[in-house]
Structure formats: C-alpha cells, structure tokens
Structure 1
Amino acid sequence: MEEQETRKEDLATEEQRLVYRRRRTKPKSTLSFPLELTSEILLRLPARSVFRFRCVPKLWSSITTDSYFIKSFETRSFLQLSLLVCFEKDGTLFVYSILQHRQVSKESSYSYTSSNIFYTESVNGLICFQDKSGQPIVWNPNKRQILTLPRLRENWECTIAMFLGYDPIEGKHKLMCIPSSRSCDVCQVITLGSTQESWRTVKTNHKHQYCFRSGRCINGVIYYRVEAWVVMSFDVRIEKFGMIDLSSHIHWGMLINYRGRLACVDESSSKNRLWILEDAEKHKWSSQDFLSPFGHFEILKDYFSLKGYTHTGEFVFEPSVFSKSLYILFYDPVRNSFRRFEFKGMVDDDDETFFNKGLQCQRTYLLDTFLNHI
C-alpha cells in the first residue's frame, strides 16, 4: 500500500512538472490576448508603429505581413488620407504632411538630400520620380525609403514619361514608362516588389506620343493625355491599352480623380467646368459646372492652380511657387465655402534673403503637393 501511494505521489509530481513546463514554453502572447484581438489592436495603430513592431515578436510580424491584414489596414487608412507638401531647397527635399479632413493638422516634417525631377501622383502610398540620369526611383514617404529600380531595357535615348499604377485586385504596384519626345508603339513595365524585378516590353496597340504631364491612376487603370482630344488608358492588371476620344469643343485642362472617376478640367476663362468620363468604351462624357472659389477676386486665379479633388469632396488649389509662406486652399463646391492651410516657412532657415521683405529680394521655391496620400 505504501509503495502504491508513493508511486501515485511520484506520478502526481511528474504531472505537475509537465504542466509547469508547458506553461513556461507556451508563448506569452497566446496567454495574454487572442489572435483576433492582437490583430485588431495592430490595425488601430499608426503605420510607422506597425512597421516598427514587425521587428519585435514573430507573431506580430506574421500578422502585419498577411495580405488580409494589409488590405484591412489600407481600408482604414482611407479615412485618414494626407496632403503632402514638398519643396526643394539647396538640394534637400522638404516634406510636410497634414490630414486632409482637419483644418490644420501637422503630421510630420522631414527632409533628405534630393536631386530628382518629374514626380508622379501618390498611388496607394508610393510616389515615383526620376534622378538626374533619367532613371526611375520609387519613394515611400511613410517608411522614408527610396528604391532604385533596374535600368530600363529599351534605350530610347530621350526623356521618358512615368506612370505609377496600382491593381486593387491583386494588390500590386506597377510602373509603366514610355518615351515623351517621340511616338512609340511599345512601353516598359515593371512590377514592384516582385522576386524577378525586371522590365518587360509591352505593346501599346496604338502608336502615340505622350504630350502632357497629367497621368492619373483610378481603380486600377492609368489615364494620360497624348493628343489634343485623346486620352490613353492602361489597365494595370491585364496590361492592355485603350483610347478614349474627347469632343474637340472642350477646352482641355488637367486630368483629376473626381469621386472615383476620371475628369477633365475645362480651363477656359469663362467657365468652371468638369468633363466626367461616364463610359470609356462608348467615349461618353458628361459635364458639371462648379462655382469659382475666388468670387470677385479672379486675379487670384492666375496665382492658384487646381491640383485635384479630395475624398471628402473638396477641390484643392495651390500656388506654383512661393517665397517665405504660402496658402493652400480647400474649396467645398456644395457649401460654396473654403478653408486654407497656411505654411509659414522653416524656423531654422539661415538664408537671409528668405526673410527679407519684398518679393524682389526673396528666394522663390517650386511647390508640389500630393493629394489623398495613404
């Protein structure tokens, strides 16, 4: 009897040891929070925090790199789209970010050495430009990363036009390049983030020459102007080109994304009109007039230019150049009201002419803004 009781005690002790070992080896994250709750908490964090947390536990890294998590994060990010304000000074690119739906909200400001030209629009968080040699470079402002791409396969020996696109179905960015100073029937395309990362040649179906810097990517399709009354389209996913005609009586302006559809701004002096693409296959456009935000001060129209349309229903007007300070106008056509974002310059600027009175003495800076940045 005593031996049996001793064995029972030994077995009980051994069982307790096993339970203790399991508890020690069991990941603390599963003891603390369920996986769904951990994922929900990470979804509510800023993008930069999510990037940093990828380097901490393997569980968080696996969650934040999952395709479903990324799509869910992008969907929530649309509620907090930003406006990026960029200008260059002494070879350094300065970037200022604000939330579009707030009156004035500073998100971040930073700088890095820059010698680049020809920006594209902000497409699902990425912006593309060329360096001095003409090679395309991809910029991720949120991660503050620059990606240099392989050299183009085609040697066009001329300047190139770049169009950044995003396929929302497969969740992939693609960059498409064509020559901008002569007609061509082929383009070069590269898929960003792919294992191969090499350029491939794609037929354009229609020989054309790019004429205007006005490309837009809307719902997985890149649109850009080529001739006086022609718009080219490029489906990012299937990599197929198309042509869209526009009536010759329309006074052409820039292309914008208007409520998820392509629109052309009528730049005639007597009208404030948008021509909205209703059916690309039938080349059908509709028109919509809107009030001028400048009222009786039409002279301001020469100083401010329309940049685009925000997801909250506001037109954005920006000055092309500025000296010490600048205003960016947000105009609501429904309420016929506007608000402004004032940029007062850099407090650490040591350039004497930057603070001199009189526009003749002040240095001017080129300005570029990027709407609806995720």
Structure 2
Amino acid sequence: MSLDAMVKPEEESSCRTSSRSIVSSNEDLMVNILSRLPVKVLSRFKCVSKQWNMLTSDPYFISAHHGRATQEPNIMKLLSVTRAGLISVCSIEEKEERKVTHDLIRPNYPDGILQKYKSVYMVGVPCNGLICLECVYHEGWRAILVCNPATRDTIVIPRGKKREYDYLELGLGFCSSSNEFKVVRFYEMEEGYGFELFTVGQRGARGTHSLKPLQSWRHVGYLPYQICYQSGRMCHVNEKMHWIISPLSDSSSEYVLTLDLELEEFKVVSLPEDARLDFVVDLIDLGGQLCLVLAIRDGSNWLELWVLKDYPNSIWSKEYQIHVNISENPDLDSLKVIGIRRRRRLLLFIDNSTFCYYDPKNNSLEMIMEEYPGSLYVENLVIPF
C-alpha cells in the first residue's frame, strides 16, 4: 500500500473531526442548520446531547425555526381533526409533481381522557403551531385542550367557575411580547356578552417552569353587542381576536370587534365605507392581515376581499375581487377563502370538496385536491404548558 493511500483516510477523518468541532463550537451556525429541519427530526435530536436539547428549547431557536417554517415556499401543510381525536396533517410539495403525503397523529392525551368523550373537535384554526380542541363528554359536559400536533404535547384547560350562562365560543391567540398563548371564550347575557381569558403559559418558549402564569380564567369585560354568527367565527390576526358584531339596538349595522391580547382591551373598527355590504361571509387571516370577505349578489355573484390597513383609523383597501365560473350556478355560501400563498395566489375550497388555487391575474382556478383536507398549518416546537 502506498504512503498516500495510508495517509488519506487519516486526513479525511481529521477533516470530519474539524468540521464537527467548528459546527459544535459555533452556535449561530448550528441554529442556521438545525432551524431548517422538521420538528419530527429535531425531537429525536434532543437526545443527542445536552447542548442540542438546550439549543432546540431556547426561545430564540424556537422563533427562528417557526420563522423558517412560515416562509417555506415549497411545502404547504393542512390540518384537520377526526371526531376520535386523531390529527391528520396533509403535506403538499408545491412542485411539478405536487407530491401529497398524509400523517395521522395521536396526541399524548392525559391517561383515560378520550374514554370520557363522545367526540373531539378543533376550535377555530391553528395558531402559531398550536390548536385548540373541544371535547364533548358522553353526559354532555365539555372540556378544552390545547395541543401541539408536531410534538404531540397537550394541556387540559380548567373549566373554571360555573356560571349562570353557557359558553358560546372559544378561540386561541398568541401574544409575542410575553410569549403566551391565550384561550378566549365568551358567554351571552341579556345586556350583551361577557369575555374571559386563560393564559396557557410560557414553558414551551423558555424551557422552564419559573415563569408559570396564573392558572385561572380572568374576566376581561362585558360588551353591549351581539355576535353575527352568519359572518363566520372569531379570527386571530396580528395578536388580536376579531368578530363581526352589531349593536343590540341596531342589528342592521355591523362592525369589527377587536380584542388586543397584549393590552387585553377592546376596540370597535368600522367596516369599509365604500364596500357593498350585501353579505359578510367571513373574517380571515390573509397573509398576516385582517381580511373581510364579502359576497356581492346582483345576479352575477362574486366575492370581494377587503384588507384592514390601519386599525386606529379603520382604513380598508379592496385587494381582490373574485368572479369566476365555478359552476353553472355558483353558490357563494359554498366558496371559502382560506389563505394566500406565494405569487399572491389565493387558496379556496368549493362545496367542501374541491381545494384549489385562484390566480387573480388571469381570473383562473387550478385544482390541487379533490377533497378539502383542513386548515393551513405551520409546525412549531413550542410546548403548550
């Protein structure tokens, strides 16, 4: 064997050792590399060393990882929940072949909790990687859970004090200034609605129990309005919760009610003055902005999408007008806008069966799937307790 042949393996081994040393000693480089990996892989990497476990639990890393996942241009994830409590995540690779994969996840529910329920439902849409679940007991009682589908961690939210009125709706929001998720619920009264908040906690963002929040529901106010249920459910955008409301004294006038999750204060926003408010279909998160979806019914149905540009001054801008021949007799009640993707294409589903892209430039539809698989979802490492 030649001298060169004997030396080469030693050189390669030395090079690999040097590379590992560079990576392990350079935390910024490790964050850059590891933040590009999916949560499933990172969960296994936590067992590699204490350094990697601490790194992937650090709030800066969690934020960096979630930021990259949010901006991932080639993979779209959609999530739905079965009545049995299983979570289905559909991943669509947005390339020429458009590969579709399905993962069925069973969260780490507390022991015996599923045996007590008749069914499990997802409340609202995913929020920063977490979802809110409502479980219905066989006897009719209900319980609330917050779950991270990627890590499978769950937390049961206490029912709180028994009140004279039934709770009508739940929603999950996020406050970045305190790294806290907050569950919002409200109940109807003769004089309007009462609202309560439950702070889920900071452990997932900080990896410690030292900042454990008050584990109880807190009353945040009464409002003399009525919720317009025909105009969709509560919507979380820009760390605020939103509803379409109308005054108790005038049900024909509608507004947007906003709950700031940081200040825990309410504000009423006027709807766009120039919009034809024939029928408010929904409030949605459209690329990080609050969007009002209106159905215009004048014989040739279409949808208008108005985006709120300025909260304090209630300034809206009409960004999209969807008028496409979906069928011979299009029914706008069965057409829903669920988000926006790169190149400003809108995500729609029609008749709860066809999932497609709408391209506003040429007013065309491109079918993605024949079955609508759920809500837009971006995974996160945060642990909900």
**Same fold by TM (over 0.5)?**
yes
Secondary structure class of the residue paired with 1:330: strand
Residue of 10, 26, 33 corresponding to 2:24: 33
Match of 2:196 among 185, 188, 195: 188
1-structure distance, mates of 2:124, 2:223: 23
Q: Aligned residue for 1:115?
A: 119
Question: Among 264, 267, 270, which residue is 1:242 paired with?
Answer: 267
Contact 1:140 1:146 survives alignment (8 Å): yes
Q: Does 1:215 align with 2:245?
A: no
2:321 is the counterpart of 1:330: no
Question: Judging changes above 3 Å, is the alpha-carbon distance between structure 1 residues 168 and 338 closer, same or farther for their aligned structure 2 residues?
Answer: farther
Higher-RCO chain (CA-CA 8 Å, sequence separation at least 6) = 2
Q: 1:278 aligns with which of 309, 325, 332?
A: 309
Partner of 2:336: 306
Tell me by how many angstroms 1:102 deviates.
4.6
Correspondences of 1:70-149 after superposition (within 5 Å): 70-80=62-72, 82-86=76-80, 88=82, 91=84, 93=86, 95-99=88-92, 101-102=94-95, 104-112=98-106, 115-117=119-121, 119-132=123-136, 133-149=141-157
- Aligned pair count reads 319
Residue aligned with 2:71, SS: helix
Question: Which of 111-120 and 233-242 deviates more?
Answer: 111-120
Distance 2:86 2:185 in 1: 24
Instruction: Give the structure with higher Rg (CA).
Output: 1
> Partners in 2 of 1:193 and 1:164 — Cα distance?
13
1:161 maps to a residue whose letter is E
Provide the identity percentage. Answer: 20
CA contact (8 A) 2:302 2:332 kept: no
Higher mean C-alpha deviation, range 279-288 or range 122-131: 279-288
Structure 1 residues 181 and 332, CA gap change in structure 2 (3 angstroms): farther
Letter paired with 1:83: K
Moved over 6 A (4+): none
Query: What amino acid maps onto 1:268 in structure 2?
Result: I
**What TM-score do the two structures reach when normalised by structure 1?**
0.74
Deviations 1:141-182 (A, max 9, x none): 212333211112352541331121112333321111111576
Partner AA of 1:206 in structure 2: L
> C-alpha separation between the residues in 2 aligned to 1:238 and 1:53?
38
- Contact 2:79/2:377 (8 A) holds in 1: no
Note the residue ranges of structure 1 that are not aligned, 5 or more in a row.
1-27, 345-366
Residue ranges of structure 2 left out of the alignment (5+ in a row): 1-18, 107-113, 203-211, 247-252, 380-385
**Distance apart, 1:265 and its partner CA:** 0.9
CA apart distance, 1:57: 1.1
**In the superposition, relative to structure 1, how do residues 144 and 181 fare at CA in structure 2: closer, same or farther (>3 Å)?**
farther
Higher strand share: 2
